[in-house]
Amino acid sequence: MLAAALAVTARAGVVVAPSGSVFQPPAGAWSGPLGLAFADPSLSSFLPPGLSLAPSLAGAPAPVLSPEALRSAAPLVQSLAKSLAITPAALNAMDAATRKAAVEMAVEEARENVRQKAYELAETARALSKPDRVMDKETRAALYAAVSSLMEMRDFYGPWLDEGGQEAVEGGYAQVSARAWQVRTALLEPGAGGVAPRTPARTAAPAGPRFILDPGATAIKLREDMKNNKSGWGQSDLDTLYRGYGFELREGGKHRMYAHPAFPQLHESVSRQNDLPPGYAQSALKLITELERLIAERTTVAAPAATGPPATLTLADLSILLSQPKEKPAVPVIETTRKHDPAIVPARAAVKTSAAITAPAEQTVSSVRPTLSPSTPKVVEVKAEPPAVQAGQAKTTGVVERIKVVWDRFKPN
pLDDT at residue 189, rounded to an integer: 75
pLDDT digits (tens, 9 = 90+) for 199-231: 344 444 444 555 678 888 889 999 999 999 989
Dmax (CA) for the chain in angstroms is 178
Domains and CATH numbers, the chain: 217-299 (3.30.920.30)
pLDDT over 80 at 15, yes or no: no
Which one, of 298, 291, 292, lies nearest residue 312 by Cα? 298
Residue 299 vs residue 225, higher pLDDT: 225
pLDDT digits (tens, 9 = 90+) for 359-375: 444 444 445 555 555 55
pLDDT at residue 412, rounded to an integer: 63
pLDDT over 50 at 237, yes or no: yes
Weakest mean pLDDT among 66-80, 247-261, 391-405: 391-405
* 74 three-class SS: helix
Give me the amino acid identity at 179: R
Print burial letters for 284-301: b (CB count within 10 Å at least 16), e (below 16). bbbbbebbeebbeeeeee
Output the DSSP codes for 147-166.
HHHHHHHHHHSGGGS-HHHH
Weakest mean pLDDT among 59-68, 138-147, 350-359: 350-359
Residue 227 vs residue 11, higher pLDDT: 227
Which one, of 179, 199, 184, lies nearest residue 318 by Cα? 184
pLDDT digits (tens, 9 = 90+) for 79-110: 999 999 999 999 989 998 898 899 889 999 99
pLDDT at residue 119, rounded to an integer: 92
Query: Which residues are registered as beta bridge partners of 250?
Result: 257
Distance of CA 197 to the CA centre of its chain: 27
Cα-based angle 63, 69, 71 (whole degrees, multiple of 5): 125
Q: Tell me what the pLDDT averaged over the chain comes to.
A: 74
- CA pair distance 404, 401, nearest whole angstrom: 5
